[in-house]
Structure 1
């Protein structure tokens, strides 16, 4: 099996090293990741300048662009093979609920999915970052399941693992996305020159975090596996909008 790996934390992040090491046991691995932290980049593509690709001492390729740039460039020009599956991560921090809209980790996987390749975003949910090995174990099991029962069509999965020791993990659950409250207010501060600047506030607490959601699974020491779709059409509004066009 041939894997393409990317992330949004940068090619130097410990999570991507753990992911590459895990997937190398299952096949050929190529890493193409941003040269710096691009968290929150979402699905942005760089269209106003050319992109450069360099190779680090550890063999990872890094790009002066976004996570989406990395996957798009790799699949459409850089690689001499088509990946069987794309993994993004292991992100240091959760990507659940509304976070998936902004997440560069999920965006990298989404780009692979849009290019017709099964893709998986993987995140470790916690600030400590002490248990990437737990997330790597979940990835290892997931790859074995995919090998035994391959996807019948391109699939996009969002996987979140609690930042806990492996022996505390209670297995995996298939979930839906939860929802958060609105984000906290922006934080104002002053530059040394006295100019007012603003920092985007922290994410809000979870509003929809009941049983069946990704928030619930992680809070109860389960890995959360959420299949995602990209069709943004509001089908229940089609008839109502069509009525606008009627005389």
Structure 2
């Protein structure tokens, strides 16, 4: 299969080289297009006000891998690959293997997840992969799993608009307990801005947040007035039996969490419908103000 590989850790990251080389050694046609330096936590940012440059990288990868270093963000890299560098669309977009977990609310900031999501937006099946440690550097178990997952999925495309977010525990391959399908959990951070002064006497701030708490069930944060709790009942019934990614990874399971770019909240739609039903005066007022738009 033809596979596009990107990341947010940059062209020199061990994770992307391990992933790309493993896939190439398995017989896949692999093209790497990733940032020329680390671009972690850039989310889905795009470069709009300056040119994007890309240069061929001729060392560090399997001989059959064609690699490019791009001056843009992770999302830029995938856009550029699909729009200019590749002759035909790939069968898969893989992003990673990221050095550090992308669990829970991390996915909102993650350049790794955003690069994969760019593939999904373009209608291409995509997988984001992360090693759940900033200290460990053993990426081969994750690369082996990525190879097996791609081979298993084959040409059976994923559900349209769905990205697989995969996190690999930072343990020996023999100590991985298995694979679990998970739901997105919630990670809380306490943001600490350290105030510093540069050599010219000007003040600057350095963000150094850390995880202080992991919440097992984000759905439990909803509720309070009965109406909202009722609106959430159907949602809870559908996902509450699945473990949260933040907990399953602690038990040394590989986690696979399906994500989507459509952020519309089904429970929110239900809730708003209930609110409007109880506020006929508001509806009538809107109809009088904009009769042709309702």
Larger CA Rg, structure 1 vs 2: 2
Residue 145 of structure 1: SS of its match in structure 2? helix
> Residues 141-180 of structure 1 correspond to what in structure 2 (within 5 A)?
141-147=148-154, 149-151=156-158, 153-180=160-187
Give the structure-1-normalised TM-score: 0.93
Distance in 2 between residues matched to 1:241 and 1:46, nearest whole Å: 41
Mind listing any 5+ residue stretches in structure 1 that lack a counterpart?
A: none
How many residues are paired up? 247
> Residues 9-158 of structure 1 correspond to what in structure 2 (within 5 A)?
9-24=9-24, 25-58=26-59, 59-147=66-154, 149-151=156-158, 153-158=160-165
Distance in 2 between residues matched to 1:232 and 1:241, nearest whole Å: 21
Distance in 2 between residues matched to 1:188 and 1:106, nearest whole Å: 30
Mind listing any 5+ residue stretches in structure 2 that lack a counterpart?
A: 60-65, 218-241, 286-294
Give CA deviations for 1:92-118 in whole Å, capped at 9, x if unaligned.
011111110000000000100001100
Q: Is the 8 A contact 2:103 2:187 kept in 1?
A: no
Following superposition, the deviation at residue 213 of structure 1 comes to 0.9
Alignment partner, residue 229 of structure 1 = 260
Residue 247 of structure 2: SS of its match in structure 1? helix
More helix per residue: 1 or 2? 2
Distance in 2 between residues matched to 1:181 and 1:155, nearest whole Å: 25
Closer, same or farther: CA 103–246 of 1 in aligned 2, 3 Å: farther
Alignment partner, residue 245 of structure 2 = 214
Q: Is the 8 A contact 2:125 2:157 kept in 1?
A: no
Q: Is the 8 A contact 1:178 1:206 kept in 2?
A: no
Q: Is the 8 A contact 1:19 1:90 kept in 2?
A: yes
Following superposition, the deviation at residue 57 of structure 1 comes to 1.6
Give the structure-2-normalised TM-score: 0.79
Residue 204 of structure 2: SS of its match in structure 1? strand
Distance in 2 between residues matched to 1:201 and 1:80, nearest whole Å: 42
Q: CA RMSD in A?
A: 2.0
Following superposition, the deviation at residue 182 of structure 1 comes to 3.7
